[in-house]
Amino acid sequence: MNHAALPTLDSLTTGQSATVVHLAPGAQEGGIDVQRRLMELGFVPGERIRVIKRVMKGPLAVKVGESTFALRRFEAALVSIKVD
């Protein structure tokens, strides 16, 4: 499946929900495996997520499971989603 055609998490607006479809491998800058960490935090395919708040041109607060995480735009752009 071509995930590049799917919208990514950073395109959601405040209050919008979606389902995670795929995570793209992030550039492993500074030895940090962003893709794996996002999955460890709960961003796994099939999981429902919702954008709680977003700062203009800044990070997004995303609800996943019972947790809320703030992600920078480039992190959110790794998460392909299916919008409800």
Partner 1 sequence: MGVMESQVASRTPLVALLGNPNCGKTALFNRLTGARQKVANYAGVTIERKEGSFTSPAGRAFRVLDLPGAYSLNAQTPDEGITRDVVAGLRAGEVPPDAILCVVNATNLRLNLRLVLELRRLGLPMVLALNMVDVAKKRGIEIDTAKLSQELGMPVVETVAIQSGGEKALLAQLDAMPFGVPVTPKPLSAIDEVSVEDTQREVRRILAAAVSSAKDTGNLSEKIDNVVLHPIAGPIILALLMFVIFQAVFSWGDAPIELIEAGMGAFGEMVGSWIGEGLLHSLIVDGIIAGVGSVLVFLPQILILFFFILLLEDVGYLPRAAFLLDRIMGSVGLSGRSFLPLLSSFACAIPGVMAARTIQNPRDRLVTIMIAPLMTCSARLPVYALLIAAFIPDQTVGGFMNLQGIVLFVLYLAGILSAMAVAWFMKRRNGYKQHALMLELPAYHWPHPAGLASGLLERAKIFLMRVGTLILAMMILLWLFSSFPGAPEGATNPPIYYSVAGMIGRALEVVLAPIGFNWQIAIALVPGMAAREVAVGALGTVYALSGGDEVGDTLAPLIAQSWSLATGLALLAWYVYAPHCLPTLATVARETGSRKYAWIMAGYMFALAYVAAFIVYRVTLAFTGA
Interface residues toward partner 1, by CB under 8 A? 26-27, 29-34, 36-42, 44-45, 47, 52-53, 55-59, 61, 63, 65-72, 74-75
Closest CA to 83 of 16, 35, 34: 16
Q: Please state the closest distance from residue 51 (CB atom) to partner 1, in A.
A: 11
How far is Cα 65 from Cα 25, in angstroms, rounded to an integer?
Answer: 22
In whole angstroms, the minimum distance from the beta carbon of 69 to partner 1 comes to 6
Whether 50 contacts 76, CB under 8 Å: no
The distance of closest approach from Cβ of residue 16 to partner 1 in the complex, given in angstroms and rounded to an integer, is 15
Give bridge partners of residue 63 from the DSSP assignment. Answer: 50, 68
Question: How many other CB atoms are found less than 10 A from the CB of residue 49?
Answer: 22
Q: Cβ closer to partner 1: 36 or 82? A: 36
In terms of CB distance, is 18 or 20 closer to partner 1?
Answer: 20
